[in-house]
Amino acid sequence: MRFGLWLSIVVLLVVPARAEMPAGLRILPRVYQEEFHLRSSGPPAIKGWMQEDPDAAAMLAAAGCETLGFSCAGEAGDASDIVRYVRPEAVAAGYRGTATLTHVRGDRTYAKFMAPPGFVTCRAGIFLKQGAISPGATFAGAIQRSGHDGLAVYADLGEGGEPRFIEFKLLIQYVAAAGAERRSCWPDLTLVFLCRPTGCRASRAYPETYLR
């Protein structure tokens, strides 16, 4: 398994970024509705957050947040303790999603869901049942605080018949870096999910990463 190796590689490829927040300003936690679509051919088969019916997407996100241990019923601009965001998708050859590609080597893709400036990754989960992965593919994600804080992912389409694909929705909670130690955030290098040819599983240490 190359999981430990790719985490080390991503560290070298992601440029650190830091931002200072005004003193005394209360920065609300954020939940980003993230997605990852990697295919050897053809358009995405799984709808992204923006392609879903708005009410259905809101219900799915709210249920996922509850599984992660908090409420996120509000959208950006609403009066809520945690607000939801959807960032613009990035598009590259065979890839569409909200993670930033950091390195591509053949069918192997290294990427990262970047924490917003001034924030750190606190918790994360993946909608395994609502996603899809082709036989022989590998997909793994872990919290990574080195470099630019975020959820680092490794994806390998592997071998097999066409098309080969990895498509999932995720939720990631980000909190203000100042005072993050007072929140129950998961530690650096927490494995959030792992999909191998033998099947997918959420974190054994934090089973709430399995969103429904």
pLDDT at 112: 98
Token readout for 41 is 């051919």
pLDDT for res 93? 84
Q: What is the pTM of this model?
A: 0.83
Helix (H, G, I), strand (E, B) or coil at 76: coil
Using the structure block, give the residue that is written with the tokens 């650096």.
188
Q: Going by C-beta distance under 8 Å and a sequence separation of 6 or more, which residues neighbour residue 91?
A: none
> What does the pLDDT profile of the chain (212 residues) look like in tens digits?
444 434 343 333 333 333 343 444 457 889 999 999 999 998 899 999 999 999 999 999 999 999 999 888 665 555 456 788 999 999 998 999 999 999 998 889 999 999 999 999 999 999 999 999 999 999 999 999 988 999 999 999 998 788 999 999 999 999 988 877 777 899 999 999 999 988 999 999 999 999 98
- CA-wise closest residue to 194 among 154, 151, 149: 154
> For residue 17, what pLDDT is reported?
34
Cβ partners under 8 Å of residue 166, min gap 6 = 36, 37, 38, 39, 132, 133, 134, 137, 139, 155, 157, 195
CB atoms within 10 A of CB 16: 9
153: alpha, beta or left, given left = phi > 0 and alpha = psi -120 to 50?
beta
